[in-house]
Amino acid sequence: MNEKLNAFHIVILIHMTQVGVTIFSLPRICATHFGTNGWIAILPIGLVVFANVALIHAVVRLGGGRSLPEMLGLFLPKPVYGALLLGMSCMYALSACLTSKQYVLMYELQSFPATRPYVFRAGIDILIFFLVIIGIYNLSKAVTVIFFSTIVIPFTLLSLYDETELVRYTPFFLKEGTDFMAGCFEVYAAYLGFEISLFLIPYVGRSTRWFRGVYVANTVTTVVYLILSIIAFGFFSYGQLRDMLYPLLEMTGHVQLPIIERVDTLMFTFFFLVALVTATLYFWIATELFSYVFPKLDKRWPAAFLITVTYFVSSIPNELDLVTGWLRIMGKVAIATAIALPLLLIGGMLITRARRAKAS
């Protein structure tokens, strides 16, 4: 039986790509950059992300079922858009590799100083390779299973709601923030993942109803970010939040179960699968972009090439801070791409349409 991605899969795919290890530091980012009750900034940034999603929606509607290279081919010469696609492929592949490296380094810091990150990362990359080559339909199945396996994590954090104190929220809003713009970029970067919708077009059929799934995913992510940040702001004092590297991870440390200690360690281990999804989906985008340029090549080869090259490139930053710094830069590039690419496509397609109308 022929399979295709339905709205439910798209919600899960996009939501799981959006949620990455940044979620653990989100309350700290909000507190540091936006100040007291910084969680509230998630709402307007979420709305801007919705506008970005709407831009992509406009592209999908204008494109009428055309894939990304077909749309670019309407108004750009092949060498130009080929170079553009290859550049984007490298960017997404590096982001993916850095994401998995960030997780491994965080894990090393958290509970496993004896890990040999290079070997372990190689293991993760092999797994990512297998996931990428099984194709997006099967990948969406794997992501669905991972979603159901890890759904317990946010609910565990919700159980700490009783520990929140109203007084910790303070009566002030957005005071003592350090760098508003930096905060906006970091929170926006935490939403990245919605742009994969642009690459799903060939796998969803001609109707554009599937795109509702992207809006739903974005809403779910906003709600999850908002609720967890609100709980964190009520759980820790404002001062504590600013000093903590990963406040949500610290929060899980307060969850107590009778049969197991240090639930935070276990939760973070489970979170590996979530980080894996983010990295895999970005590698999948990178492979797709590479395949657009070299369509005759079996997809296993671009996947293996990108994973191997980025493995070595991402070995350059060897500390967590450096990796986070690189990821911050990649995040800004990815945000710029997420906004500029749809604008370029809309502009290009409208001009092409106008020219054709004029010619006829």
Interface residue list for other proteins (CB under 8 A): 1-3, 6, 8-9, 107, 111-112, 114-115, 120, 123-124, 127, 130-131, 134, 138-142, 144-146, 148-149, 258-262, 265-266, 269-270, 272-273, 276, 296-299, 301
- Please report how close the Cβ of residue 73 comes to other proteins at its closest, in angstroms: 20
Tokens standing for residue 48: 């801007």
- Please report how close the Cβ of residue 279 comes to other proteins at its closest, in angstroms: 11
Type of residue numbered 35: G
Closest C-alpha among 302, 291, 326 to residue 82: 291
Q: Which is nearer to other proteins, 13 or 187 (CB)?
A: 13
In 160-252, which ranges are continuous DSSP H helix? 180-191, 212-235, 238-243, 247-252
Q: Which is nearer to other proteins, 186 or 264 (CB)?
A: 264
Q: Which is nearer to other proteins, 178 or 269 (CB)?
A: 269
Tokens standing for residue 207: 């109707």
Q: Which is nearer to other proteins, 259 or 359 (CB)?
A: 259
Q: Which is nearer to other proteins, 165 or 261 (CB)?
A: 261
Q: Which is nearer to other proteins, 77 or 113 (CB)?
A: 113
- Please report how close the Cβ of residue 298 comes to other proteins at its closest, in angstroms: 5
- Please report how close the Cβ of residue 336 comes to other proteins at its closest, in angstroms: 31
Q: What torsion, rounded to 10 degrees, do the Cα atoms 136, 140, 310, 92 define?
A: 80
- Please report how close the Cβ of residue 259 comes to other proteins at its closest, in angstroms: 7
Q: What torsion, rounded to 10 degrees, do the Cα atoms 71, 76, 79, 85 define?
A: -40
What count of residues does the chain have?
360
Write the CB contacts of 203 (distance below 8 Å, at least 6 apart in sequence): 4, 5, 136, 137
- Please report how close the Cβ of residue 169 comes to other proteins at its closest, in angstroms: 32
Q: Which is nearer to other proteins, 9 or 101 (CB)?
A: 9
Closest C-alpha among 20, 248, 17, 263 to residue 139: 17
Cβ atoms of 28 and 241 within 8 Å: the answer is yes
Determine which helix (DSSP H) or strand (DSSP E) holds 25, and give its type and residue range. Answer: helix 22-34
- Please report how close the Cβ of residue 1 comes to other proteins at its closest, in angstroms: 5
